[in-house]
Amino acid sequence: MFKKLQGGLSVLGFEEPYYGESAIHPVTTRVDKKSGSVHRSTEATDFNWQSPPYTNVETQTFYFTDLASGNVGFAQIIHSNVMGVHTTAQFTFRLYNINDSSKNIWTSTKLENFKIVDGFNFEADNLKFEMIDGKKYKLRSFVCNESIVELEVERLTDGVIFGDDGMTFYGEDIKQPWGSMRHVFWPRCTVNGRILTKKLGEVTITNGYTMFVMALQGMKPHHAAKSWNFMNFQSSNYAAVQMEFTTPKSYANTKVNIGLVTDNEKILFATIDNEVIHLSPEVDSVGWPVPKSIEFNYVDPLNGNTIAKVTGPLKNLIERIDVMAEIPQFVKNIVSGVAGAKPYIYQYSNEFEIEILDKEKDPKGGKEKGIGFTEVTFISE
């Protein structure tokens, strides 16, 4: 009865009662730290669309970086289900140049006649997204004349999933959870292709880098997390990714952080319980303490030592996204009923620097500059 009541509250969007730490099972506590490895290499089936029959959002996203031109951005397919009765799909695209802020394109297009093919491929009218031989992806999107996208991606390192399944579960019984969170990565890939735009003409990407991530948020976003920190860093010799969310007070403000550092051939570090530091935060016009600089520390799961860090100023604000202004009215009505819900996403991209502190795993390591794409998200108090 209690679980049915909880599920009903989740559907209606009311603020949840306090469940505490016993109702959150982070992926970071479901791994074997003593083994020295908190991850495994991915298989093609790890990228199957989960499509659970309840409220959820699934995404597959390329975060691309062209070091030569300074062009960064992402191409993303969103597959969502509201209350188990209404399924939609969207293609979103961002292009930004860190050297010229006027080169800033954002499109979001509803997909028609979409379908999942063979578990992990995706098709819709004027869009095709397919994995090839478990090592390559091809994306062709002609759904929006403002951003025609053709990309080919090939991974350079193994893919990464934390633990056995990458899952964080919400609910007192882990075998019958009422919510979930999941991430699966290809952290370092090459990307080549072109983007046709009305604003900038043709933009080519030649021997760029990309991080690919598949994510599942298997509950209402404002119930799953009250804030997020995300960073994708790419340089000539390294890739670094860090993903952190903090749950609402219903789940004891629990912080879950996973991170990856690679070179051009292998995974150097897969880490958990890392630390994100907001430096010189200032409260902005909408009331959130927005940092001026940020530091992502990578922590060794065995001894707690910092083994790598990525730091930099947040000087290029691509966009401050008012989530409430972007979502449909019926969803807005649900979220607005939650006390303190004021979701904003702050997107940045500019030069960052990586420093490798563990010379045993990377003897040639030191400091190297590259480009960071960062999202700082505030959802609720």
Mean pLDDT, rounded, of the chain: 90
Compute the average pLDDT of residues 9-19: 60
For 180, the token pair is 């979930």
Compute the average pLDDT of residues 83-108: 92
| Distance from chain centroid for Cα 177 | 22
- d(CA 270, CA 258) in angstroms, rounded, equals 8
In this predicted structure, the answer to whether residue 327 has a pLDDT above a threshold of 80 is no
- Looking at the DSSP bridge assignments, the partners of residue 240 are 233, 261
Q: How high is the pLDDT of residue 15?
A: 66
Distances (CA, A) of 140 to 29, 103, 157, 190, 194: 39, 22, 24, 17, 10
Compute the average pLDDT of residues 101-127: 95
* Residue 8 pLDDT grade (very low, low, confident, very high; cuts 50, 70, 90): very low
- The domain locations on the chain are 23-378
In this predicted structure, the answer to whether residue 260 has a pLDDT above a threshold of 50 is yes
Compute the average pLDDT of residues 159-169: 96
Compute the average pLDDT of residues 175-203: 96
Taking only the tens place, the pLDDT of each residue in 192-223 is 999 999 999 999 999 999 999 999 998 888 88
CA proximity to 271, closest of 228, 225, 304, 310: 304
How many Cβ atoms from other residues are within 10 Å of residue 280's Cβ?
Answer: 12
Listed range (215-219, 340-344, 353-357) with the worst mean pLDDT: 340-344
Taking only the tens place, the pLDDT of each residue in 271-325 is 999 999 999 999 999 999 999 999 999 999 989 999 999 999 999 999 999 987 7
Cα dihedral 17/19/20/23 (nearest 10): -140
In this predicted structure, the answer to whether residue 257 has a pLDDT above a threshold of 80 is yes
Q: How high is the pLDDT of residue 84?
A: 64
Q: How high is the pLDDT of residue 334?
A: 47
In this predicted structure, the answer to whether residue 350 has a pLDDT above a threshold of 50 is yes
**Predicted structure pTM score:** 0.92
Q: Candidates 3.40.50.261, 2.40.50.180, 2.40.370.10, 3.40.1170.10; correct CATH number of 23-378?
A: 2.40.370.10
Q: How high is the pLDDT of residue 6?
A: 32
Taking only the tens place, the pLDDT of each residue in 135-163 is 999 999 999 999 999 999 999 999 999 99
How many Cβ atoms from other residues are within 10 Å of residue 325's Cβ?
Answer: 8
Cα dihedral 303/307/312/317 (nearest 10): -70
| Distance from chain centroid for Cα 153 | 18
3-state secondary structure the chain: CHHHHHHHHHHHCCCCCCCCHHHEECHHHCCCHHHCCCEEECCHHHHCCCCCCCCEEEEEEEEEEECCCCEEEEEEEEEEEECCCEEEEEEEEEEEECCEEEEEEEEEEECCCCEEECCCEEEECCEEEEEECCCEEEEEECCCCCCEEEEEEEECCCCEEECCCCEEEECCCCCCCCEEEEEEEEEEEEEEEEEEECCCEEEEEEEEEEEEEEEEECCCHHHHCCEEEEEEEECCCCEEEEEEEECCHHHCCCEEEEEEEECCCCEEEEEECCEEEEECCEECCCCCEECCEEEEEEECCCCCCEEEEEEEECCCEEEEEEHHHHCCHHHHHHHCCCCCCCCEEEEEEEEEEEEECCCCCCCCCCEEEEEEEEEEEECCC
Compute the average pLDDT of residues 91-114: 96
Give the length of the chain: 381
In this predicted structure, the answer to whether residue 336 has a pLDDT above a threshold of 60 is no
Q: Among residues of the chain, what percentage have pLDDT more than 90? A: 78
- Looking at the DSSP bridge assignments, the partners of residue 132 are 136
Please name the residues in contact with 230: beta carbons below 8 A apart, sequence gap of 6 or more: 242, 243, 244, 374, 375, 377
Q: How high is the pLDDT of residue 219?
A: 87
- d(CA 39, CA 32) in angstroms, rounded, equals 9
Compute the average pLDDT of residues 94-115: 96
In this predicted structure, the answer to whether residue 173 has a pLDDT above a threshold of 60 is yes
Query: Which of 87 and 351 is assigned the larger pLDDT?
Result: 351
Q: 202, 221 in Cβ contact below 8 A?
A: no
* Residue 181 pLDDT grade (very low, low, confident, very high; cuts 50, 70, 90): very high
Q: How high is the pLDDT of residue 37?
A: 86
- Looking at the DSSP bridge assignments, the partners of residue 344 are 322, 378
In this predicted structure, the answer to whether residue 4 has a pLDDT above a threshold of 70 is no
Compute the average pLDDT of residues 122-140: 97
